[in-house]
Amino acid sequence: MKTFKGSLTMKRSSFHLSLSFPAHSFPTTSIYPFIDPSPHFSAQTFASKVVLVTGASRGIGASIAQHFSRAGASLALVARNEDKLGAVKAEIEATVPGARVLTFVVDVRDTAQVSKAVADTVKHFGRLDVLVANAGVMRPLGTRFASVDPIAWWDTLEINLRGVFNFVHFAIPHLQKSGGYVVAISSVGSQVRVPTESDYSISKQAVNRLVEFVPIEYPGVKAFAVHPGNVPTDMALGSGAPVSFDTGPELAAATVLHLAAGKADWLNGRFVSSLWDLGEVESKYKAAILEKNALVHKLLLP
């Protein structure tokens, strides 16, 4: 049981923080054969591709960057902390001989900085194939929205939603040319209403909707909103969220690689959880998902 300030009391069991299909053998908590990244590493699937990852200075974004680099991609890494970005770049260069890595010290809220980072990436590498909009924040939970600093509440949307929009906005013309991919790192928090998490939940739900709009407005570009699993990163540990951590960052990284490699384009414009076995989702649920246009936000009538 966790007691929050403002006399809100919540039991862990009052949240169902995983999303599940009716009959299945998932959630999965580690990399499984259907999304095994090793074939991408050995075949260098992304050798001619350019991938931009935001929030790449640590946590899930750093792992995503590592995975794409091992699959041969040229990388543009974005975050605010120059030292940590440099450390991620150095680690990639140490483990992937010949790695091509640019870093950009950028605040995702700053439209001019974002515009320049995307333009400089394309100027340097000549193209852009994949945008992984991963940068995100979560305030420490425990304060209801009427008590929280309103600027802090709104800032979550500035980073989690505006930051994603900024990158998608400037990346789209290049992704249209390459027939590329947007992968926005969303959250299971977009699908549940956890007290004191309204800013995070709203920001991530709006990101899911933005992802739905990508193929509607730009049919040549594929887009996915991905829940990475509950990973013990700085953000997650600092939030005090009442979740049990179920996986490391590698599962999300392998999921993102699988999606950006064109292995699940039928899920274009939809929400995907890294905790689902995508092979099982495809074999058991693809027809129903497409028929009912599921995994998008909609109002259900009884």
Contacts of 134 (CB under 8 A, 6+ apart): 53, 54, 55, 56, 60, 61, 64, 184, 185
At position 257, the amino acid (one-letter code) is L
Of 99, 132, 137, 206, the one binding ligand NAP by CB under 6 A: 137
Residue 301 CB, shortest distance to ligand NAP, in Å, is 29
Give whichever of 74 and 103 is closer to ligand NAP, judged by the CB atom: 103
Q: What is the DSSP string of 5-72?
A: TTTEEE-GGG---S---SS-SPPP-S--GGG-SHHHHHHTTTTT-EEEEESTTSHHHHHHHHHHHHTT
**Interface with ligand NAP includes 159 (CB under 6 A)?**
yes
Structure tokens at 286: 């693809």
Between residue 89 and residue 108, which ones bind ligand NAP under the rule CB under 6 A?
A: 107-108
Give whichever of 188 and 214 is closer to ligand NAP, judged by the CB atom: 188
Residue 116 bears catalytic tag: no
Give whichever of 45 and 66 is closer to ligand NAP, judged by the CB atom: 66
Question: Which string of x and - marks every residue 38-77 that binds ligand NAP (by CB under 6 A)?
Answer: ----------------xxxxxxxx----------------
Residue whose pair of structure tokens reads 């064109």 in the numeric block = 262
Between residue 209 and residue 228, which ones bind ligand NAP under the rule CB under 6 A?
A: 227-228
Give whichever of 65 and 122 is closer to ligand NAP, judged by the CB atom: 65
Nearest to 203 by CA among 269, 157, 155, 239: 157
Residue 181 bears catalytic tag: no
Q: Which of 49, 89, 200, 285 is catalytic?
A: 200
Give whichever of 56 and 141 is closer to ligand NAP, judged by the CB atom: 56
Between residue 107 and residue 136, which ones bind ligand NAP under the rule CB under 6 A?
A: 107-109, 134-136
Residue 187 CB, shortest distance to ligand NAP, in Å, is 4
**Interface with ligand NAP includes 80 (CB under 6 A)?**
yes
Beta strands in the chain (DSSP E): 2-4, 8-10, 50-54, 74-79, 101-105, 130-133, 181-185, 222-227, 270-273
Residue 287 CB, shortest distance to ligand NAP, in Å, is 29
Structure tokens at 263: 């292995």
Residue 45 CB, shortest distance to ligand NAP, in Å, is 23
Cα of 153 vs its chain's centroid, Å: 21
- CB 151 within 8 Å of CB 26: no
Give whichever of 122 and 159 is closer to ligand NAP, judged by the CB atom: 159
- Which run of H or of E encompasses 87? helix 82-95
The dihedral built from the CA positions of residue 158, 162, 163 and 166, taken in this order, carries a sign that is: negative
At position 123, the amino acid (one-letter code) is K
**Interface with ligand NAP includes 84 (CB under 6 A)?**
yes
Q: Which of 204, 263, 286, 298 is catalytic?
A: 204
**Interface with ligand NAP includes 81 (CB under 6 A)?**
yes
Annotated catalytic residues are 200, 204
Question: Which spans of this chain sit near ligand NAP (rule: CB under 6 A)?
Answer: 54-61, 79-81, 84, 107-109, 134-137, 159, 163, 185, 187, 227-228, 230-231, 233-236
